[in-house]
Amino acid sequence: MITVRLTGEVLDYLRKLPPQSRHAIRVAIKGLGKELGDIKPLTEELEGFHRLRVGSHRVLFEYEMVGEEKIITCVFAGSRRWIHEVFQSRLAE
């Protein structure tokens, strides 16, 4: 099994959502530990990151290895409409 961590930014996003959306995203994030869900690697400027699609929401994450352990860190979450542009601008900062 893979360890899944959430940044404070992802937790803040989840807190602002209505209960049904929050629950769906939490279930999908738990599935990441088994690499389940609608996962797609990102390209170009966001190469190295992956996205998890949950309805109209996206969770951006990256894999890392710590010793023999694989860790997924969810670094950003948001609406499908703007998530890639906002995350890309934050990376540039």
Query: What does the block give as tokens for 51?
Result: 């996205």
- Asked whether residue 79 carries a pLDDT value surpassing 90, the answer given is no
| Nearest Cα to Cα of residue 1 among 72, 83, 73 | 72
- Confidence at 11, pLDDT banded by 50, 70, 90: very high
- Asked whether residue 75 carries a pLDDT value surpassing 80, the answer given is yes
Query: What does the block give as tokens for 23?
Result: 């629950």
CA distance 84 to 70: 24
What is the β-pairing status of strands 50-54 and 38-41?
antiparallel
Question: In order of start, what are the domains of the chain with their CATH numbers?
Answer: 3-92 (3.30.2310.20)
Question: Quick one: pLDDT at residue 89?
Answer: 74
- Asked whether residue 17 carries a pLDDT value surpassing 70, the answer given is yes
pTM of the predicted protein model: 0.87
User: How many C-alpha atoms does 10 have within 13 Å on its Cβ side?
Assistant: 19
The region, left, alpha or beta by phi > 0 then psi within -120 to 50, assigned to residue 58 is: beta
- Asked whether residue 82 carries a pLDDT value surpassing 80, the answer given is no
